[in-house]
Amino acid sequence: MTRIALCQIPVSPDPTANLKRAREALARAEDADLAIFPEATLTRYGRNITELAEPLDGPFVTGLAEAARRHGTAVIAGVFEPGGNRVHNTAVALDATGAVKAAYRKIHLFDSFGAKESELVAPGSEPVVVDLAGLRVGLVTCYDVRFPELARALVDQGADLFAVIAAWASGPLKEDHWITLVRARALENTVWTAAVGQAPNPAESTDGFGVGRSMLVDPLGVVRADLGTSPGVQVVEVDQEATAAARASLPCLEHRVLGVKRS
């Protein structure tokens, strides 16, 4: 069993306030092996992300690393890294000693529903799987979850858990999209999926980012935990024996026919 903390926190534009919230959440999840925070935990989306972006050895990730080391808990969290005229929307992975083990730069940018993430964010290009807390963890950020080929690339690299971090935007049926897509990525790949979104922040409600609904979904697409919309930390368990059982009864990864062409 691996114990994972789903850390559904509200995010403000102030990195110092967000680091404080992240440290408090880690203190509440002290018995977890891995704590997962939302996309953009560093600072809330806005025009100022280019000014607030930090390198991975900057004060925000350094502060997270110190907290990870203190509690003996691996951490995944969303930050913004400088990237020329734009930034990278990065999921950083720290092990339980606070060492940076991986950094995934979001590939699919949210240029949809009237938004234009690519104006401020430069895309990454490489899928990332990292060894954390005894698991092979595939990193997925928000809009990425709409692209099944990324999840399949991660499972082909040996991922046995997807960590999906998000600042999911609200709107008609958007919450349904989130739930459906997270469950689909888990089920079609028979992979445990821990999806963590920002909790709604009433003080910043005009931008619409953060619907909550962080969840753990098992390899057969069953929602094992759902945090709803309020801020919270919930420790859940991932059982790799359940993955083996799911794949024995539903061997869809073995049944793939590669190279199928359009007629």
- 63/21 Cα distance (integer angstroms): 12
- 251/220 Cα distance (integer angstroms): 11
Neighbours of 219 (CB within 10 A): 24
Catalytic position from the list 39, 54, 81, 117: 39
Residue 32 burial by Cβ neighbours in a 10 Å radius (0-12, 13-18, 19+)? buried
Distance of CA 45 to the CA centre of its chain: 16
Element (H, E) at 166: strand 161-166
Distance from the first to the final alpha carbon of the chain: 45
- 187/36 Cα distance (integer angstroms): 21
Catalytic position from the list 7, 54, 81, 142: 142
Does 142 qualify as catalytic in the annotation? yes
Non-local (6+) Cβ contacts of 142 within 8 A are 39, 106, 110, 164, 165, 166, 167, 168
Phi-psi region of 70 (alpha: psi -120 to 50; beta: other; left: phi over 0): alpha
Does 126 qualify as catalytic in the annotation? no
Element (H, E) at 52: helix 49-52
- 136/129 Cα distance (integer angstroms): 6
Catalytic position from the list 81, 106, 117, 204: 106
Does 188 qualify as catalytic in the annotation? no
- 227/212 Cα distance (integer angstroms): 7
Q: Annotated active-site positions, please?
A: 39, 106, 142
